[in-house]
A and B are shown apart, each in its own frame.
Chain A
Amino acid sequence: MANTKKYWKGIDELNETKSFQESKESEFSQSNSIESFLADDQLSESSTGRRDFLKFLGFSVAAATVAACEAPVIKAVPYVMKPENVTPGMPTWYASTYYDGSSYASILVKTREARPIFIKGNKHFGITKGSVTPSIIASVLGVYDSERIKNPLKGGKKSTWTAVDNEISKAIKNANKVALISNTIISPSIHGAISELKSAVKGEFEHIQYDPISYSAIRSANESNFGKSFIPSYDFSKAKTIVGVNADFLSTWLMPTEFAAQYGETRNPDNKDGMSKHFQFEAVMSVTGSNADYRGMTKPSEEENVLKYILAGVKGMSSTVKLSSNLKKTADLAVKSLLENGNESLVVCGTNNTGLQQLVNEINNQNNANGTTIILENELHLFQSEEAKLLECVKGISTGTYDVVLFYNSNPAYSLPKDDLKKALKGKKVKVTVSLNSHADETTTLCTYNCPDHHALESWADFHPKSNHYALAQPTIRPLHNTAAALESFLVWSGKKVRGGKNSTVAYDNIKETFSSLTTADFNMVMHNSCVKLEQPMLEDSISFNSADYAPMPNIGKGTEVITYQKTAIGNGNHANNPWLHELPDPITKVTWDNYITMNPVEMTKAGYKTTYDQENGLSMAKITVNGVSKTLPVYPLPGQAPGTVGVALGYGRGGNGEKIGKSAYQTAEYGGYEVSKNGKPKAIGANVFPMLSTENDEFTYSNSGKVVKVDGEYIIAATQIHHTVMGRHSIVRETTKEIFDNKGKEAYNPAHTLQTLDDNLNHVEKPVSEFDIWDEHPVENVGHRWGMSIDLSSCIGCSNCLVACQSENNVPVVGKDEVRRGREMHWLRIDRYFASDEEAAVGTKKNKDSFSYDQAEIAALNPKVVHMPMMCQHCNHAPCETVCPVAATTHSNEGLNQMTYNRCIGTRYCANNCPYKVRRFNWFNYPSYKKFTEINPAQDDLGRMVLNPDVTVRSRGVMEKCSFCVQRIQATKLKSKIDKEPVADGEFSTACADVCPTNAIVVGDWNDVNSKIRKSSEDIRSYQALEEVGIKPNVWYKVKVRNEQNNLLSKLQVEKKSHHGSNNKHH
């Protein structure tokens, strides 16, 4: 679409001066013609003539070439005393635990030469069973952040621990009232230390726990229904019907690390006891919503009605509430399914409103879900936010009730709904304010003292996430800076312990004490596993459900309903300085480095917004006003967004007032450096919409009514996928319904591509594509190894863990918004997200060429179905890229790998042009040193470089790169087997992406091992290969996506045809 703005070449054109009019007529400026330039005698007489210049140039090139041959002297510094468990060149893995105040997971940390370089989930121990989130994987980058506070600070200036400790301890001891504002603390040791601190205070001591994303409504609803304020454990794996209302439980709601794996278990159509049915009622298309079998576009104001309708339904009563017809259809199906599955069902709601949560409790109780999918006894200790107390405390800070205020792991100056705290702290009524945060963030910069805590990977910690679970975290690197564990700081300030310095054991000793008071297990063994199961505490009385009066339901006023939500990568903003997460395309919108207003494209067209965009053409802007707070943001067309609503992501707009929260947290200028705002400070990425929250009934309310007005101007966004649908290319994505899958043969939903050929009797016959070979076969089948991968599209939930893990494992450079915009992102693995269009409801069927229009296929449906499809190098055995490489830099290995040899590559990019999957990436710049990437590429500073995987080349400019199937891991696995004198066991080799997949959608292994999982998976009835008809024989298989839905159109179209070639549809 054309740009509406007019640009002038200069003031001359604007004013239409006479000379401009004259010069406009000629193509070139005439002021200095080439002839006159060449005829200039003076020039040829000058001391350096053109020829001389060329001679000098030639000489300097030659000299530079010769000088470049010089081998620099490289130093090697071995240990003085080698630690016992470190072998240079070999990784050491540590079991640990991750908790950042909102996500929790049992993790394994890979270290090389005592540097953590990779994080994955611990599949063997812990409640999360190997699940992680993108932000957990990317958190390894945080330890090397060069903008961490390196010393204790007083008034923003470097100080010493002795000095700050003395002053803070004295202040605490003599204070009349002390407040500690922290995130939810689940560490028994820190709770212990805080009570020590409490006893050290002369006057009053208040500990306020506060989460920017609050779940307090669940607790208060449970208090009214069960008589106890708690959050139970949920078990999605036992649920056959799942109903989610505005709860993105696969990505952001409560414990996604637990739920994603549980959900994955129920989504396998091959399961004998059936596949779960998932209903989602939401406004903004979330990762969870994109996986639902049925999705109802639900405005926040309609949630109450939907839940009331379902409650009436499961009670067998007819409801009086009015629902729109579409919503009613979906709700009726949900009720039917809930009634069918009874206690094997689960209803969850993500809206922070006690009334709605009470309705959810009623429904679950009616289904008898308590005890099967809801485990009341095993309480979740996360999210104990007390908004009322916090708001009270903020008032106290502004009036000067407190003498000392401590902030630990919390940033309320950024994330509180109103700017009250900022004003209160600026008022300086509190004598001593202390922040233990690791960055000079919004809160820290307003505090007198800063006592930086270690990074999580540098410190000991213990956690009590659930009643029956206790976990430990161990340091994987020696503290890089002069920081101190918060646990130690609390103990020192309470006068119980003295500072231990760089090699302090204070925290470790304290945790060991806590440990022995909780369990009799062996400490080292628990450390090895990272966690231990505790005896379930006996409940005094068994908890039972009691009906209670409903608390006030959400009262959303008239106007556009605005939903503030969390995005998968940035979440609540804790990791807003992490370049890997900023560059991670949002699983649904595929936009990087920005937040935006999401709106349904149908509504956008009506209101005159642009619904298409590309690298040169931006999106329209809109001003959004909620609760008196206005922000101007681009408007992104998101199919499936409930009409009448818009969504804005939280967690952006950090560091806009000159706070130093990390190099990559700001908008970068085109040639390096930052975009600078009017006040001379670097511009934050996106806008902070936390101030839009309201605090009704002392609960943070994330959905409010507001006003959205289109404003002038366009804003260019950087998205990795600017088309929405699969556009009729049915050989890429295949999907069917559970009903068809159960009742019809493979031919119906996964037909083999066939080609016509002549048989021996010269008859026309159709044979599957797999039986044709364009070229001689590579000798990879059944000989040696043949590495393969299969991806189950039914299990893939689009969580994007694989993408970040790949980036971390393979040293994939960060390229920044401007480069992503130009389509130059370097991710070796991308997840293609396809919205269904109305035109192609039946994927995998041929269209009538007269009535079918591709234009219609490009437009996503109003409320589309979604497919997530991880796409990386398919390692084709007849790879088109290999044949066009003029220098044989990309070749085929005898193990079925499409090898990329960087040192041979001359960068012709023929291979990328010839790749049908578009998975090859050209390395355009010297990312580790070019100034454009200084701010965003962690490899550009000495600290950030430490995160690089030493077993993988850091590619230089001008080469092609792509997924290597983690060949470094293949080689390591083979070597291990050779040394152990064992054949490679199935499951021993895993790629980074398969390693972190929470639903085990990705299976990798040696295809030549006939008993391997990958062999079986590739021969599965649902297996197909993307673009199989091209005949390039990939080593990657996909499995047909199966939805547990009723789709009459699809079942009409997906019918078994009479096969021309008998049963010969075996895959090779």
Chain B
Amino acid sequence: MYVHSLNFDQFSSRFMKITNTQRVKSIRSHLMGILLLTFISLSPSYHSQGEAIFKAKCATCHAVFQNGTGPKLYGAVQRWEDAGEGELIYEWVRNNAALRASGNSKRAAEIFAEYKGSVMTVFADLTDEQISSVFEWVDSQDPNAASGGGNQANTENGASEEEEGGLPWTWIILGIMFVVIIMAVSGVRRQLKIATKESGIETDSLTYIEEFKTWAWKYRLYVGIVSLVLVLTLFVGLFKILYTINVMENYQPSQPIAFPHDVHAGINGIDCKYCHNSVTKSKSAGIPTVNVCMNCHKKINGEGKEFQGEIEKIYTAAGWDPTLGPSGGYKDPEKGNTSPIVWNKVHNLPDHVYFNHSQHVVVGGLDCKQCHGDMTKMNETAKVQPHEALNKIQENIDSKIEFTKPTLTMGWCIECHSQSGINIAGTDNAYYTEIHNRLKKNDYSLLNSYNDDGKVTVKELGGWECSKCHY
């Protein structure tokens, strides 16, 4: 697998505008991704109710270990208990404004003051049990894991890169040696010939080519077979190379802002759909607009120069001045104080392909990572994952999807369409019920033939047809 990806990287660096440093980075992060993924797929998956609720409702404003728009949640229960109001935390979560208004809680007023009057969203429908499951999950997280893991992986990457980097050299040296041997042998032959000539013995002075021709004719059967095999191998090889042209696996352009997906989606656990919010409504998932960033980054301005510098770029784009007013404010957008962020597009769909995110996410019920890989573990800016990585995603394993084609190629799309099933019989979606009824009523044998492998696949309902994606 490593060899493949490295070959690809060398190839891609010739054909895509990726600088050398970018290439090294991409190799490194690629390896890191695989290492991490291997690690994850071995560790037991942790799916608790608490985690789900946290990601859906809390993560937008709260981080586990850091104060964000709202305070960090790690140890929150402990802090409320320390204040002697341990029981009130449930009411606080459900309706903070009501609790504050009731005047029963000192801590409520404190937090309100600390966060400069930010009001927390009301979650009236959360039960005590659900709330405690969130805090249980939060407190079960390891505060050391969040900062330690990354560095370790990096050093390992560095080592493995050099190791892997030697491989083609071996081949090159071997090749050179082979050429040298051939040249040496033919040199000897030539010397012998000259020697025989000088010694006066008459031989047919045949040229190399004529000699070769006689030899080839003598062994024409073997020569024929060998050359046929050679030609075929060449063609197969050429085709394989041609197929990789413009395959965007691992394409990783540099971005104007060093946005870490692993921090946002991983450590902070923000749901992908919070930022890429048109994914459920539109064909495009959407690149988050600056006002979405600002929902959190009004408060979070980063620790350390490096981070502050990056977050500063968001402020410049949004026209935000942290010194305006008591807690910062927007400069007049009409006076040209805003400047949109110009990202480098990572996923480029050709013009003649139509792809709709909402179809796949809402109707198909796919998780983002089933196609994009696990972004929570990716430090560098977004990139298309190799299909091998996607095959390790738990959801794809569960639905028995095995990709063999590079991601975002048509082969990859139709692989999925031929393997994934649609539940048309026992669904609450009246659209599919109608389709099912029509099949049942008018062509039962067709329905049966669809069901012979136990599922109705996307392909069987027309998911392989040209004008589903090309128009």
Whole-angstrom distance between the Cβ of A810 and the nearest chain B Cβ: 9
Whole-angstrom distance between the Cβ of A61 and the nearest chain B Cβ: 16
Residues of B within 8 A of A781 (CB): 442
Q: How far is the CA of A1016 from the CA of B289 in the complex (A)?
A: 48
Whole-angstrom distance between the Cβ of B113 and the nearest chain A Cβ: 29
Judge if A79 is at the interface, Cβ distance under 8 Å: yes
Residues of A within 8 A of B462 (CB): 784, 893-895
B286 touching A70, Cβ below 8 Å? no
A76 touching B466, Cβ below 8 Å? no
Whole-angstrom distance between the Cβ of A120 and the nearest chain B Cβ: 20
State which of A69, A79, A975 has its C-beta within 8 Å of the C-beta of B289: A79
B438 touching A782, Cβ below 8 Å? yes
Residues of A within 8 A of B468 (CB): 893, 971
Judge if A902 is at the interface, Cβ distance under 8 Å: yes
State which of B281, B348, B351, B439 has its C-beta within 8 Å of the C-beta of A87: B281
Judge if A438 is at the interface, Cβ distance under 8 Å: no
Task: Give the nearest-CB partner of B439 in chain A.
Answer: A783
Q: Tally A residues with Cβ within 8 Å of B.
A: 55
Q: How far is the CA of A974 from the CA of B292 in the complex (A)?
A: 31
B348 touching A78, Cβ below 8 Å? no
Residues of A within 8 A of B287 (CB): 76, 78
State which of B286, B291, B435 has its C-beta within 8 Å of the C-beta of A88: B286
State which of A82, A952, A983 has its C-beta within 8 Å of the C-beta of B471: A952
Q: How far is the CA of A974 from the CA of B343 in the complex (A)?
A: 33
A981 touching B430, Cβ below 8 Å? yes
With A71-B16, A894-B462: A951-B354 Cβ-Cβ less than 8 Å:
yes
- Give the residues from 320 to 351 in chain B that come closer than 8 angstroms, CB to CB, to chain A: 333-334, 338-345, 348, 350-351
Residues of A within 8 A of B431 (CB): 974, 977-978, 980-984
Per-residue 0/1 for A894-934: is the Cβ within 8 Å of any B Cβ (1 yes, 0 no)? 11010111111000000000000000000000000000000
With A76-B343, A783-B446: A901-B354 Cβ-Cβ less than 8 Å:
no
Residues of A within 8 A of B286 (CB): 78, 87-89
Judge if A1008 is at the interface, Cβ distance under 8 Å: yes
Judge if B87 is at the interface, Cβ distance under 8 Å: no
By DSSP majority rule, is chain A's interface helix, strand, loop, or mixed? loop
Judge if B248 is at the interface, Cβ distance under 8 Å: yes
State which of B289, B439, B442, B470 has its C-beta within 8 Å of the C-beta of A80: B289
Judge if A63 is at the interface, Cβ distance under 8 Å: no
- Name, among A781, A902, A951, A983, the residue most crowded by chain B CB atoms within 10 Å (CB to CB): A983
Judge if A503 is at the interface, Cβ distance under 8 Å: yes
Task: Give the nearest-CB partner of A970 in chain B.
Answer: B467
Whole-angstrom distance between the Cβ of B319 and the nearest chain A Cβ: 7
- Give the residues from 71 to 99 in chain A that come closer than 8 angstroms, CB to CB, to chain B: 71-82, 87-90
With A784-B462, A978-B359, A981-B430: A71-B246 Cβ-Cβ less than 8 Å:
yes
Q: How far is the CA of A982 from the CA of B461 in the complex (A)?
A: 17
Judge if B109 is at the interface, Cβ distance under 8 Å: no
Q: How far is the CA of A130 from the CA of B453 in the complex (A)?
A: 49
Whole-angstrom distance between the Cβ of A965 and the nearest chain B Cβ: 9
State which of B289, B348, B352, B363 has its C-beta within 8 Å of the C-beta of A74: B348
With A80-B289, A899-B465: A88-B284 Cβ-Cβ less than 8 Å:
yes
A89 touching B344, Cβ below 8 Å? no
Q: How far is the CA of A782 from the CA of B438 in the complex (A)?
A: 6
Q: How far is the CA of A392 from the CA of B451 in the complex (A)?
A: 84
Residues of A within 8 A of B348 (CB): 71, 74
Whole-angstrom distance between the Cβ of A105 and the nearest chain B Cβ: 29
Q: How far is the CA of A979 from the CA of B428 in the complex (A)?
A: 11
State which of B288, B354, B434 has its C-beta within 8 Å of the C-beta of A78: B288
- Give the residues from 10 to 66 in chain B that come closer than 8 angstroms, CB to CB, to chain A: 15-17
- Give the residues from 977 to 1026 in chain A that come closer than 8 angstroms, CB to CB, to chain B: 977-984, 1008
A73 touching B17, Cβ below 8 Å? yes
A69 touching B354, Cβ below 8 Å? no
B16 touching A779, Cβ below 8 Å? no
Q: How far is the CA of A90 from the CA of B280 in the complex (A)?
A: 11
With A89-B282, A89-B284, A782-B442: A902-B470 Cβ-Cβ less than 8 Å:
yes
Task: Give the nearest-CB partner of A70 in chain B.
Answer: B15
Q: How far is the CA of A67 from the CA of B34 in the complex (A)?
A: 31
Judge if A967 is at the interface, Cβ distance under 8 Å: yes
Per-residue 0/1 for A552-576: is the Cβ within 8 Å of any B Cβ (1 yes, 0 no)? 0000000000000000000000000
Whole-angstrom distance between the Cβ of B15 and the nearest chain A Cβ: 5
Judge if A519 is at the interface, Cβ distance under 8 Å: no
Residues of B within 8 A of A975 (CB): 356, 358-359, 363
Per-residue 0/1 for B404-423: is the Cβ within 8 Å of any A Cβ (1 yes, 0 no)? 00000000000000000000
B363 touching A77, Cβ below 8 Å? no
- Give the residues from 938 to 977 in chain A that come closer than 8 angstroms, CB to CB, to chain B: 951-954, 964, 967-968, 971, 974-975, 977
Q: How far is the CA of A951 from the CA of B354 in the complex (A)?
A: 7
Judge if B95 is at the interface, Cβ distance under 8 Å: no
With A69-B15, A88-B282, A88-B284: A902-B352 Cβ-Cβ less than 8 Å:
yes
Q: How far is the CA of A1003 from the CA of B466 in the complex (A)?
A: 25
Task: Give the nearest-CB partner of B362 in chain A.
Answer: A979
Q: How far is the CA of A503 from the CA of B359 in the complex (A)?
A: 37
Per-residue 0/1 for A633-672: is the Cβ within 8 Å of any B Cβ (1 yes, 0 no)? 0000000000000000000000000000000000000000
A75 touching B344, Cβ below 8 Å? yes
Judge if A305 is at the interface, Cβ distance under 8 Å: no
Residues of B within 8 A of A78 (CB): 286-290, 340-341, 343
B443 touching A904, Cβ below 8 Å? no
A81 touching B430, Cβ below 8 Å? no
- Name, among A73, A891, A904, A1008, the residue most crowded by chain B CB atoms within 10 Å (CB to CB): A73
Q: How far is the CA of A964 from the CA of B339 in the complex (A)?
A: 41
Whole-angstrom distance between the Cβ of B337 and the nearest chain A Cβ: 10
B248 touching A71, Cβ below 8 Å? yes
Whole-angstrom distance between the Cβ of A969 and the nearest chain B Cβ: 10
A74 touching B443, Cβ below 8 Å? no
- Name, among B248, B318, B434, the residue most crowded by chain A CB atoms within 10 Å (CB to CB): B434
A783 touching B318, Cβ below 8 Å? no
Q: How far is the CA of A891 from the CA of B462 in the complex (A)?
A: 12
With A78-B288, A901-B467, A983-B434: A73-B253 Cβ-Cβ less than 8 Å:
yes
Judge if B245 is at the interface, Cβ distance under 8 Å: yes
Judge if B251 is at the interface, Cβ distance under 8 Å: yes
With A73-B253, A893-B462, A978-B431: A953-B352 Cβ-Cβ less than 8 Å:
yes
Residues of B within 8 A of A978 (CB): 359, 362-363, 429, 431-432
A783 touching B443, Cβ below 8 Å? yes
With A81-B290, A784-B435: A71-B251 Cβ-Cβ less than 8 Å:
yes
A893 touching B467, Cβ below 8 Å? yes
B429 touching A981, Cβ below 8 Å? yes
B319 touching A80, Cβ below 8 Å? yes
Residues of A within 8 A of B461 (CB): 784, 894
Whole-angstrom distance between the Cβ of B18 and the nearest chain A Cβ: 9
B333 touching A81, Cβ below 8 Å? yes
Residues of B within 8 A of A901 (CB): 466-467, 470
Per-residue 0/1 for B424-459: is the Cβ within 8 Å of any A Cβ (1 yes, 0 no)? 000011111111001101110010000000000000
Complex A-B, nearest 9 residue pairs according to Cβ-Cβ distance, in ascending order: A89-B282, A782-B442, A899-B467, A983-B434, A89-B284, A901-B466, A82-B289, A89-B283, A74-B345
29 A-B residue pairs with Cβ-Cβ distance under 8 Å, sorted by A, are A69-B15, A71-B16, A71-B17, A75-B343, A75-B344, A77-B341, A80-B319, A80-B340, A82-B292, A87-B278, A89-B286, A781-B442, A782-B443, A783-B438, A784-B439, A893-B465, A893-B466, A894-B462, A900-B467, A951-B283, A951-B354, A953-B351, A953-B470, A975-B359, A977-B431, A978-B359, A978-B362, A979-B363, A980-B431
A779-B446, A964-B467 are known contacts; what are 20 more A-B pairs with Cβ within 8 Å? A71-B348, A73-B17, A77-B343, A80-B339, A87-B282, A88-B282, A90-B278, A90-B283, A779-B443, A783-B438, A893-B467, A901-B466, A901-B467, A902-B352, A903-B352, A951-B354, A964-B471, A978-B429, A978-B432, A981-B428
Chain A residues proximal to chain B, CB less than 8 Å? 66, 69-82, 87-90, 503, 779, 781-784, 891, 893-895, 897, 899-904, 951-954, 964, 967-968, 971, 974-975, 977-984, 1008
